[in-house]
Every structure is written in structure tokens, then in C-alpha cells.
Structure 1
């Protein structure tokens, strides 16, 4: 007999039939090309035909590239070889896909979004977030968080791994195009190099904006993320509250953590001192920037959402909808259309998750949930 769990209980009840339709400009994914390349020579022309279709309909600027644009770049190889993107439209296309993918994943990391199933069949060539089944936004900051029960115990697709898994996907895609003789090895390597550079540029810029800093500070940000992981600080609420910290080096030590007290819960004296030390360094960085508190807060609030689609909010809306009440679904939709706004009267949707939100079936789902 199966042990009785929340999953087996769910299997025993009648389920409503749901028709879920996704709308995108295209559903072409890395896997759309990979599957044909894997079938041998007879299908390689399909890879070329699909590439031509994608460029013609979704990347027309590449089709119309002018050779006088001089899109030649030195690679990071020891021989400093050059990749000329104007001489091969497929190479230019591959590089753009790599950069779009990098930008998308940098944005995920910025708001704490974890996709959950980043295989090649779930990666769009347009740099769109598609096929997110057991997705989840970070609640308590945990770099190893995965919303996918089938991703345990290895946590291949966990939050911290997403940038590397993105690169792995680009490697599979470039290998596919190389097999089809659309790009050569140098062009494939350059696309992967561009992915890495683009991701770091976008991620560093995103984190700099989230903290309201004038420039990227690796040490300050690394220390912050370490502190957040140790104390399991709520990712969304912390960054939203951080904009309330004043750029005043003269703030008394016992008042430094006041703007953050709603998320720094149950921390002992040692951890409190670690946070005070970090905030002191942060305040000095802010003071040196010369930006007013009001201006900085507005800028930070524009990139740090107050509301995200937490799984427990979805579950609450689902429970009500199953009883015929769709008002909660409508409220969530309205909130998520403008997640950076304050929405007076809706503050409960920004509260820390209740204890039941961390149980399996809510914070983590299977691919078939």
C-alpha cells in the first residue's frame, strides 16, 4: 500500500478538468532543433529550414544585415581569433539567442524567480519564460531552492544553478547547429562566451539597481546574499524594505536595523551584529553616492517588486476557485499586473508566508501538478 501523504490524498479526489492555453510569439525551443539533429543526416535539413524560418519571422534584422556593419569580434581564445557575424547569419542568430537567454535568466535572478524545469525543450529561442510548470518565487532566501519535487535530491534546476544551466542549454543548442553545419566551433564558442558576458553585465547591473548603488560592489553584495542565506531572509520583502534605509552615517547603531526589522526575525546577538556591520558599510556607500533618499527609494522600488506570485497565494486562490469563487484570482491578477506599485489596502499579499506555505504540494510541486 502507498503511504498516505498530501500527494496520495490529492490523487484520490476528483479533479476538475482544466484547459490551459499559453500564448507566445513562437513556441520554437532549443529542443525543436535538437530533436532533428539527433535523428541523423536525414533530418539535418529540417534544422536548417527551422533556422531559416525563425530568422525570417522573428529575427528579420539578421536577414537584412549589411556586411558593412563590421560585426567582427575577437574571441577569448589564446590565438585571439576573430568571429565575423556578418559573414554567417546563423552565427549572428546564435549569438543573439545566447544574449537574450542570458538577459532573461539575469532578470529571473533579480526577482527571485525559479523556473524549475530548464531542459532544452523548455528554453525559448526568443528569450521568453515558457513552460514554467512547478515554478516558484523565493520566499526565505535559499540558493538551493527548487520548486520541483522531481528535481530532488540533486537540485539541478535550483535557483543558484540557473545561470549555469542556461549556459548548458546554449552549449546544447550550439552543438546542434554545429552538427547541422550552420556554425563552426569558433562561432559556437563565441556564442557561449557572449552568454557569460551578457549574463554578468545584466546581473551586476540588476543587483546594483536593487541596492540603489552608484556602481557594482561585489564584496558588499556577496556579503549581503550570504547574510540572507544564513538567516533565511525573505527575498522580496527584504529588497523592498531596503529602500527605506537612510544614507546617514550618523544613524545610531541601535537604530540601523529598524527599517528591516520586519524581515530580520528571530536573529541572535551574533547575527544582529553581522547585519549591523553590513548596514553600516551599505550606508557609507549610499552617502558617498550623493543621491537623495527620495530619489534612491523611487529608483529602488521600481526594480524591487512589493508583490510576487508566491505559491501559497496561488493555492489560496485555487482553493476558492474550486468552490466557485474567482474573486481571489481576479485580485491576484490585478496585483501582478503592477507588482511594483504600493496598492493601498492590499498589503496582506506582501506578508511573510504562513507556516503551511512551506509544505510539499504548496512550495514544491511535481511536473504533473
Structure 2
């Protein structure tokens, strides 16, 4: 189905016709935190709807929770001064809430791993299944910038920027647990425990993911924090840097003037002071690699399996859109095929991994609005 609409770029008043379409989204469920929150905020008469929706979700999407029993020993200390215990087998809604919190934490840790920025993380855009849904003005990091937001309506506060996503995830869990508490499905300690589990799960997943991205045998907070600081200072391309990092050899004898050769494609226009900072970091990194005893070939294969060669950069999408508006869908089909295997080299497709051109940083390409 093709329809025609009138569009103005960022409300400029310059209306033009453009083709439109109906987009069909597919997911096991589109129940989201807001599906429950709206009823809890509507007064006592709607609270039973919250329970009914919870029962529906558990029956159809979390059936294992219905079959839990005391023998599974799902009792946990809350860490409070009174040493109270949360028993997830005695309240299916508490167990359900904890699982949603952990799924959400895993999802957001995965976002951070590939530089994905959702852009609109309010409660009606957060799936109870831990799925990425309702990403309108989304974007992948190009130059590493923790404050990056792909959403023009998120300026200037940048509430949903890349660095804030883990905390906003926790905020969403807090809203969800408050909703279930209002409906008398969970108590305060169960709500607190779900939020605690979110934090623990996120840190476990994030640290494990960053460890794999660097090919390290164990998490090294100091090394990773220094790397991210360097990347932010020099605005290093997030995707390309980690992909190239697998080419660094675990050889402490590499001459200092050759240490940055594998990374030269992303360490652009850096002065001597910054070059020395990067040499210092790579030396520390090589030392860690050498101590691991993992072969360069094995480590490269492992790192390339978690660091994508290709991500759906906004400027690449825009190029495909421009061609499609002229009736040529070749580029759209090529992109769809490319993104089926983002971790593979795919010889002949290297241009899709290039650094963004200057025009890619204009509004409407690098950043979109919710109505774009």
C-alpha cells in the first residue's frame, strides 16, 4: 500500500509531497510497561485490569512462573538491616517482576555493547519481554559520544542519551514496580528486590560484554574506563574501533612507533599528546593480552563475533531512502541483506563500514524527531 503525505522538514513550513507506507511490526507481544501503568493511574476501578493483564502475560509469555514451587528455593536476602527475605515462589507476580527487570537489564547491556541508542525510553516504549520495540528516532553511535542522542526532541536535556540508558532502564523498572504495588500485586520489598536485580544483572552483563569486546580473560575496569575516556576525547568511531582492535597482536616487543598501526584508520587527526595517551593504553592492553595466553587467531575470531563489522548507520539509511523515493529499491534490498550478517566481513561491502561523511551530521540524518 502506498499513500502520499505532506511533510515539512523540522516544521520549516516548506511542505512537500513524499511517499508513505504502512509498516507492519512483528513481536511475540506488544505489552509494555505503559500498558499496566495507564490502568493503575486511572483509579481503583481499573486496578483489576492490571491484575488481568499480568495474569495474561504470565500465562502466555512466562508459563514457567506458573509451575514454580517451593522446592526451587527461590528465596533471597534483601540485604536490609532486618535481613528480610524475598521468596519468589510464594508470589508469582514478584517472580514475574524480577524476570522482567533482568530481561530489561540484559537488553540494555546489549544496546551498550553495539552502540545502539533507542532515543525514546518512556514506559510505553519498554517491552515486558525485554525486546527492543518502538525505536523511532534511534541511532547507532558513530563518533563515541556518551551524551549522544538521536532524538531532536530529547535536546537539550538528553534524558535518553547513550550514557543514560542504563539509569533510564532502572527508572522504567521503578515505574513498573510502583504500578504493580498500587495494584497490590507485589509489596515494597519485592519491588525493591526487582530493582536491585536489575542493577546486578546489568552490571554482570555489561562487564562480561565489555570483556568479550576487548578479548580479555577477565574484566579490567581501569583499562576499559581509560579506553572509553580516550575514545570520547578523540571522538573515535565506536563500531570501527572495536572491530579493528582485534588486529592488535599480543606481543609486548612491538616497537612503540608501530603500536597504533592496526588502529590508524580510526585514530585520525590526533596530536602528539593524544598519540602518547593512546600508545600508553595500547601498551597496557597488549600486556593484558600477553598474560592471557590466548592466541591472536583465537582471540580475533572471538572478538569479531561480538564486535560487528556493520551497523545500520543513519547516513547509510538516508542514502537508501533517497534512492527509494526515486523508485529504486536496490539499495534497500542490499542493506537488508547486509544486516542479516553484521559480524561477517562480507567482501565487497566495505563501503558500508566507512566513517560517516560530513553531510551525515546534519539534522534529519544523524538526528531525527519523533515525527520524522
Tell me, yes or no, whether TM beats 0.5: yes
- The answer to whether the Cα contact below 8 Å between 1:67 and 1:86 also exists between their aligned partners in 2 is yes
Q: In the TM superposition, what is the alpha-carbon distance from 1:135 to its structure 2 partner?
A: 0.1
Q: Deviations over 1:163-203 (max 9, x none)?
A: 00000000000000000000000000000000000000000
Q: In the TM superposition, what is the alpha-carbon distance from 1:70 to its structure 2 partner?
A: 1.1
Equivalent residues, number: 350
Q: Deviations over 1:17-64 (max 9, x none)?
A: xxxxxxxxx000000000000011000000000000000000000011
Alignment partner, residue 240 of structure 1: 243
Q: Please state if 1:92 is matched with 2:91.
A: no
Q: 1:6 to 1:208 in 2, by over 3 A?
A: farther
* Inter-partner Cα distance in structure 2 for 1:340 and 1:87: 43
Q: What is the RMSD computed on CA atoms of the aligned residues?
A: 3.1
Alignment partner, residue 3 of structure 1: 2
Q: In the TM superposition, what is the alpha-carbon distance from 1:5 to its structure 2 partner?
A: 22
Q: In the TM superposition, what is the alpha-carbon distance from 1:78 to its structure 2 partner?
A: 2.3
* Inter-partner Cα distance in structure 2 for 1:297 and 1:277: 22
Q: In the TM superposition, what is the alpha-carbon distance from 1:305 to its structure 2 partner?
A: 0.0
Q: TM-score, normalised by structure 1?
A: 0.93
Q: Counterpart of 2:76 in 1: which secondary structure?
A: strand
5+ long unaligned stretches in structure 2: 7-28
Q: Deviations over 1:313-334 (max 9, x none)?
A: 0000000000111010011111
Q: 1:57 to 1:284 in 2, by over 3 A?
A: same
* Inter-partner Cα distance in structure 1 for 2:280 and 2:346: 33
* Inter-partner Cα distance in structure 1 for 2:82 and 2:256: 54
Q: In the TM superposition, what is the alpha-carbon distance from 1:79 to its structure 2 partner?
A: 2.1
* Inter-partner Cα distance in structure 2 for 1:282 and 1:103: 27
Alignment partner, residue 345 of structure 1: 348
Q: Deviations over 1:229-288 (max 9, x none)?
A: 000000000000000000000000000000000000000000000000000000000000
- The answer to whether the Cα contact below 8 Å between 1:6 and 1:361 also exists between their aligned partners in 2 is no
Q: TM-score, normalised by structure 2?
A: 0.92
Q: 1:276 to 1:38 in 2, by over 3 A?
A: same
Q: 1:297 to 1:3 in 2, by over 3 A?
A: closer
Q: Counterpart of 1:304 in 2: which secondary structure?
A: coil
* Inter-partner Cα distance in structure 1 for 2:146 and 2:55: 39
* Inter-partner Cα distance in structure 1 for 2:83 and 2:106: 26
* Inter-partner Cα distance in structure 2 for 1:251 and 1:289: 17
